Structure 1
Amino acid sequence: MALLDNAEVADEGAPPDALEFIHDLRWDDIPANVRHHAQRSLLDLIGVAGGGRKTVNARIVCDFVSAHCGPGDKGARLLFDGRRVSVPGAAMANAAMIDALDAHDGHRLAKGHAGAVILPSLLAFSTELAPCSGAEFMARFVLGYEIAIRAGITLHASVDEYHSSGAWNALGAAAIGARALGLDSDQTAHALGTAEYYGPRSPMMRCIDFPTMVKDGATSGAHAGVTAALLADSGFTGAPASLIDDQPGAGIWSDLGVTWRMAEQYLKPWPVCRWVQPAIAAAARIRDEIAGRKIDRLVVETFYEAARLTTTHPETSELAQYSLPFPVAAMLVHGKVDAQTVTTGLLDKAVTGLAERVEIEISPSLSAAFPGRRSARLVAVLYSGEVIETPVVEAPGEPETPLSDTDLVNKFIDLMTPLTGQLKAVSIAEMAATLEERESVGPLIEAICEFPEGLS
């Protein structure tokens, strides 16, 4: 399946414009395959939030919003924590929680992540300010993705610099807020324009070169988008959203409601930057063949952007998640790359020792294929002189090679169990899987906001 070959018409007639789409979309209008993608992303994001909750990054931001963003009359709650804070504060902290563990979904052409902001923003509005049914919650979820991803593709087509995801997923957050608050068309336009204006056009490659807790700008994107909708509800005006209205986006918005960008999402098997995952997949491919044999050096051929992720001895989780040598070595040494690998496993000498022997070469052909394709090839040179090579491979989880539903559930359970225990994790998974059938999203929100037994 090509990236753009998922067009499925829900109803005959011309596609709606963005404002109509935001307010008129219904869960039953969405094609079945897209609804299934939405259910998978919902489960995956909740699991990643659970995995990210114990990180230093999440703790700092949660404590910050608890201290400085009081809930007022109607607030929202922090995931796997329970504290009530303001609606923008909850969106900000819960986005930080998901973004803290780089295991969440993404879109190739948007070159980033919608879900890390879409779900936290949706939860923030749906807790006390605008509670809703499960079907309405899921419709808001999908419309947020559709607006955000298109804004991201438009942004990258209109500027040369590579901006963080917060620059464009803020518009998805604002769209959800406009729907939840019942804004009229003018107010919705102002919300989108304000979200774009206030969204963080952060230079993403700066965080690639210097990995820190700012990550992909999700915290600021969520805060900007949610705040924009709340301000518009009070009469605040914003400049027109150029990412929706202007020429660089011509053709990107004309198929809204026909081509579903939600169905083009990739889902990650490993909690590290997507750019390094092809190299991990290559390592997994030859691990059994080189098990127990001494490796002299490893040569990874990949695209330019991935080649900048060179850390071998990560001192922080962020450095581990934005490293190519470290997770490749972990896959070869342990046969897995999981949340523990990039949090509590940073001092694993067997892994860091092998990471030192990883050489990275830039492939012109693989670089030219980015971002539509992200690929790598691995060459293992053994002390015996034998050379073992892989073909060029991509990471599993792309739209063409999706993770199975079983794989996703197992990933969810693995991420959640250390925090909530397995029985609670299974219960949450079952609630999420049937959410569209439920009269209220409240029980799911309650379940994922309770203070968990595994958090000290």
Structure 2
Amino acid sequence: MVEPAASLTEQLAAHLCRLVPFAMRQRARLHLLDWLGCAAGARMSDTAALQRRAGGSAIERATWLGNVLEMDDIHRTGIVHPGPVIWPAALRAGARMDACLEAGVRGYEAMVAVAATLDAHHYAFWHPTATAGSFGAAAAAASLLALDAAATADALGLAGSVTGGLWQMRHAPGDGKQWHLAHARATGMAAAHHARHGARGPRQILEGPQGLYAAACRAPRPMILGKGWRIEEVSFKPWGACRHAHPTIDAALALKDQGKLSGEIIVGAYRDALTFCDRADPQSVVQAKFSLQHAVAIVMARGVPQLADFEPEAIAALAPERALVRVVEEPALTAAYPEHFGARVTSTTGSVLITDTFGDPERPMADADIVAKARTLMAWGGIDAAGVEAGIAAVLEADDTAPLFDWLEAWL
């Protein structure tokens, strides 16, 4: 009798059960620190105030804060932000730090592996950080619970059966994007918990006739399960704007360095950058973070973008510069996307083309830059210097999670 071929979730579960090497755990510490900085930087936000009213643990509150400032890490091909979902699922009070780091690496692997199979049709309607996030959270929680491959496959199937998150939340002010993170984390963790106790999940939740691909994709891409770990493919974000705006910022900075960023400016970008970030007259902080025109205006008038440059005072002040910026689709950049996020910024005296932006694996941020980013974000959130250094040490130096959880309780 011929054994049936292993489903995609079964293949992924077996893949996740590999040993996580020391180098990947060290890489994971940087991503954990990056998430912590993003969450801490948002501790004075309206979302943080909402969470203080809602109650819950510090880690539950932190889950809502990881993407508020739009500085969370990103995988380009999957167009997915792993950190804000994975780290709240991978951290457990009383656990050894190595166990949490391994859970994080496995969570990134699952989330990126699933996200990278989702197609453009899916991205047009669905928020991949939510869709793939439930799978990633399930994988991280399964790792912490030391589930075997069979139980991990069940957890993935259970989580995937109720995953989702629609982009409609972008069309009105609200907290839908943050709710997506909390839902993905909670769903994945609950799936792993129940799989541990024998709950079975649909093994073909991805490729089955009524699975995720059939329901929400037209041309899903093959799942790639390589020898390495895909956390190495994840980019860090240096600036507090939508990642689709980063190539434009990068190109504008290069043109400014040449002394040629003046007068009327044309931004050539890929189609999704225009879909999400063609916004000539932003009216809020969120809209400014999703505006190519505002991104260029900041660089023209002020140089390297700072978080304050997306606040209401700056939005009003930079209106004259935004009026000089026109955005157009550049077909070659659309063709190279999402493997490469690129932009071309052109003035009357010069032009700069960026094909991979700062923070991508091809142009990585140095470890020191990532630590400096965390310091800046924590300070933006109102944390004093001693608290900042304690948070960094809790991530980069501690062997257990107690200092990190103490820090979260104190500051969030």
Pairwise same-fold verdict (TM > 0.5) = yes
Contact kept? 1:154, 1:243, Cα under 8 Å: no
Corresponding position: 1:409 with 2:378: no
1:17, 1:238 → 2: CA distance? 14
2:299, 2:254 → 1: CA distance? 10
> Could you say which residue in structure 2 is the equivalent of 1:370?
337
1:142 aligned to which of 105, 117, 135: 105
2:21 aligned to which of 15, 18, 30: 30
> Could you say which residue in structure 1 is the equivalent of 2:268?
301
Amino acid at match of 2:300: L
Report the count of equivalent residues.
390
Corresponding position: 1:263 with 2:225: no
Superposition TM-score, scaled by structure 2 size: 0.85
1:188, 1:404 → 2: CA distance? 34
* Cα distance per residue 1:202-253 (max 9 Å; x no partner): 2x4x456667532373232222212322343455443225338899565513
Superposition TM-score, scaled by structure 1 size: 0.77
1:227, 1:42 → 2: CA distance? 22
Corresponding position: 1:122 with 2:90: yes
How far apart are residue 132 of structure 1 and its match?
A: 1.3
SS at match of 1:109: coil
Corresponding position: 1:398 with 2:360: yes
Corresponding position: 1:287 with 2:256: yes
SS at match of 1:53: coil
1:395, 1:389 → 2: CA distance? 16
> Could you say which residue in structure 1 is the equivalent of 2:326?
359
Amino acid at match of 1:406: A
Contact kept? 1:315, 1:346, Cα under 8 Å: no
SS at match of 1:394: coil
2:224 aligned to which of 246, 252, 256: 252
Matches within 5 A, 1:136-215: 136-156=99-119, 161=124, 163-164=126-127, 165-183=129-147, 185-202=149-166, 204=167, 206=168, 213-215=175-177
Amino acid at match of 1:446: D
Cα pair distance change 1:208/1:322, threshold 3 Å: farther
* Cα distance per residue 1:369-404 (max 9 Å; x no partner): 1101111111224xxxxx332234532011011011
Amino acid at match of 1:441: T
Corresponding position: 1:51 with 2:13: no
Cα pair distance change 1:409/1:194, threshold 3 Å: same
Corresponding position: 1:320 with 2:288: yes
> Could you say which residue in structure 1 is the equivalent of 2:217?
none
Give the gaps of 5 or more residues in structure 2: 1-9, 214-219
2:395, 2:207 → 1: CA distance? 31
Moved more, 240-249 or 358-367: 240-249
1:160, 1:315 → 2: CA distance? 25
Amino acid at match of 1:47: G
* Cα distance per residue 1:60-109 (max 9 Å; x no partner): 24533x1xx6xxxxxxx225xxxxxxxxxx1xx42320011110111111
* Cα distance per residue 1:260-284 (max 9 Å; x no partner): 1111111011011111101101111
Contact kept? 1:103, 1:271, Cα under 8 Å: yes
1:282, 1:116 → 2: CA distance? 27
Corresponding position: 1:111 with 2:79: yes
2:271, 2:228 → 1: CA distance? 30
1:37, 1:223 → 2: CA distance? 25
Matches within 5 A, 1:228-247: 228-233=191-196, 235-243=198-206
> Could you say which residue in structure 1 is the equivalent of 2:385?
422
2:319, 2:250 → 1: CA distance? 19
1:263, 1:251 → 2: CA distance? 17
* Cα distance per residue 1:284-318 (max 9 Å; x no partner): 11224548x9x442210111111121223433322
How far apart are residue 160 of structure 1 and its match?
A: 7.3
2:121, 2:157 → 1: CA distance? 16
Cα pair distance change 1:59/1:237, threshold 3 Å: farther
How far apart are residue 42 of structure 1 and its match?
A: 1.3
1:173, 1:427 → 2: CA distance? 27
> Could you say which residue in structure 1 is the equivalent of 2:12?
18
* Cα distance per residue 1:389-446 (max 9 Å; x no partner): 22345320110110111211111111112321122212221231124xx1x2112221
1:116, 1:241 → 2: CA distance? 27
Contact kept? 1:320, 1:346, Cα under 8 Å: no
Cα pair distance change 1:179/1:432, threshold 3 Å: same
Cα pair distance change 1:195/1:139, threshold 3 Å: same
2:174, 2:290 → 1: CA distance? 9
CA RMSD of aligned residues (A): 2.8
1:396, 1:107 → 2: CA distance? 13
Contact kept? 1:302, 1:360, Cα under 8 Å: yes
Amino acid at match of 2:273: A
1:432, 1:144 → 2: CA distance? 18
Contact kept? 1:194, 1:241, Cα under 8 Å: no
Contact kept? 2:90, 2:141, Cα under 8 Å: yes
Contact kept? 1:211, 1:319, Cα under 8 Å: no
1:244, 1:404 → 2: CA distance? 39
Cα pair distance change 1:434/1:174, threshold 3 Å: same
1:169, 1:285 → 2: CA distance? 34
2:173, 2:346 → 1: CA distance? 27
Corresponding position: 1:336 with 2:304: yes
2:385, 2:75 → 1: CA distance? 30
Amino acid at match of 1:243: L
SS at match of 1:377: strand
> Could you say which residue in structure 2 is the equivalent of 1:277?
246
